[in-house]
Amino acid sequence: MSTTGSAKRLPSIDIARFFAIVLVFYGHLVEQFMDVWAGGLSYIDAAAGDHYKWVYSFHMPAFFLLAGVVFNSRHLHERIDAYLKRRWTGRVLPYLVFSAIPAILSLVVTGWFPTADLSSLNGYFWGIIDTLRGVPSFAIPLWFLAALVSVELFHYLVGRWLTTTPRRLIAIVVSYLVGVYLNRWIQFFPVYTFWLVNLVPLGYAFYLSGIVLRDSAVLERTYARWQLALAAVALVVGVSLTYDLNQGPFALGFDAVIVVAGAVGHLGLFPLTAFMGIALVLVLARLVPQWRWLQYLGEVTITIYGLHALVYHFVNPYFANWSDATLGPWLTGELGLGAGSALFLVASLMTALSVASTVPVAWAIHRYVPRLVGRA
């Protein structure tokens, strides 16, 4: 495949993007079951930490890599004003729109906003200032869009010189090392950061890996279903055996990879688990039937991602506490489920409902007001 031509759209990549956003829904939900936020939930807080660490070991690196896979390298040769317009319509505008929605809703509905004090007008003012500098206080999950803007601007500056695989591989290693040690030496998040530029080296390492993967044509090859199934099992085992070997250093009081804080832990174990997890998402996306509706959900993933902020701030914290008081004793008592099984059952069902609730809204946005999400 040409390294300068357009990126061919593959159904499995769109499906992989949808699978990745499902993991985001799941990870943010189990976060609320951890006692660090929910105040010491009684029946699954320890299991929630394990689930959280498993998902977070690779799900955000997967988003950076998939963004690289779908990047059209012809855009590198656009004029700077045309390129910036694309970033504005496709990234910044959705970021602002989906940050504004929960901010307005918070005026009439009580939500959970851990990085903003919304009890006063001054709190809203500083929340707006933080959002404009790329730290979305009203829609915390959208930090990835802010970071992606910075990564893609960086790629516009350097990508035209990274035209061969050897150059890209060297850039991946250098970028990763700079990203790890830069964020280890300096605690940028949440105060000392502007559009999360401190995450550019880390994010770019995976973004450029996606470009290398795309140009290798591995994603376009045909594989037998038994091969994909065997690979999926092996990758699940691989992630499960290595995710907890990474013992930090971490940040924000979490014993887990927190990419937004630049805390990825062990220099070698983090990419090992991350790439296995990413491969798992890609393999599962090839293994499932390539249904058109599933591909469509991948195409509107950014919109689903933006709507997830409503679930994150207004639903998850209250559901976690209600579940602890109502479902917990029943699941672990009368049904005799273990903590991990109870959590997986509850969180999976709630994740499915949460994702399903955003789909009709995402469809309506793309059908009637597509310009809000950068579509013509």
pLDDT bin (cut points 50, 70, 90) of residue 35 is: low
Mean pLDDT of 104-113: 94
Mean pLDDT of 81-104: 94
Tally the C-alpha atoms within 13 A of residue 80's C-alpha that lie toward its C-beta: 3
Question: What whole-number distance in Å separates Cα of residue 259 and Cα of residue 59?
Answer: 10
pLDDT bin (cut points 50, 70, 90) of residue 192 is: confident
Question: What whole-number distance in Å separates Cα of residue 56 and Cα of residue 130?
Answer: 24
In 3D space, the residue among 214, 182, 186, 217 whose CA is nearest the CA of residue 201 turns out to be 182
Average pLDDT, the chain: 90
pLDDT of residue 187: 82
pLDDT greater than 60 at residue 2? no
In 3D space, the residue among 143, 156, 248 whose CA is nearest the CA of residue 197 turns out to be 143
318 CB-near residues (< 8 Å, 6+ apart): 112
C-alpha triplet 145, 149, 152: angle, nearest 5°:
130
DSSP per-residue string spanning 36-59: HHHS--TTTHHHHHHHHHHHHTTH
175 CB-near residues (< 8 Å, 6+ apart): 201, 202, 204, 205, 208
Comparing 253 with 49, which gets the higher pLDDT? Answer: 49
pLDDT of residue 105: 96
Residue pointed to by tokens 């929910």? 38
Contact (Cβ atoms closer than 8 angstroms) between residue 324 and residue 119: no
pLDDT bin (cut points 50, 70, 90) of residue 1 is: very low
Residue pointed to by tokens 């599962």? 284
Residue pointed to by tokens 């690779």? 58
pLDDT of residue 36: 43
In 3D space, the residue among 149, 132, 275 whose CA is nearest the CA of residue 200 turns out to be 149
What is the three-class DSSP state of 258? strand
Residue pointed to by tokens 């505008």? 93
Question: What whole-number distance in Å separates Cα of residue 361 and Cα of residue 358?
Answer: 5
Contact (Cβ atoms closer than 8 angstroms) between residue 161 and residue 216: no
Contact (Cβ atoms closer than 8 angstroms) between residue 14 and residue 298: yes
Residue environment code for 36-70, b if the CB has 16+ CB neighbours within 10 A, otherwise e: bbbeebebbbebbbbbbbbbbbbbbbbbbbbbbbb
Question: What whole-number distance in Å separates Cα of residue 27 and Cα of residue 22?
Answer: 9
pLDDT of residue 4: 40
Question: What whole-number distance in Å separates Cα of residue 110 and Cα of residue 343?
Answer: 25
Continuous segment of H or E residues that includes residue 201: helix 200-215
pLDDT greater than 80 at residue 305? yes
Structure tokens at 362: 């995402």
**Cβ-based burial of 320 (10 A; exposed 0-12, middle 13-18, buried ≥19):** buried
pLDDT greater than 90 at residue 167? yes
Residue 27, Cβ neighbours under 10 Å: how many? 21
DSSP per-residue string spanning 217-243: TGGGS---HHHHHHHHHHHHHHHHHHG
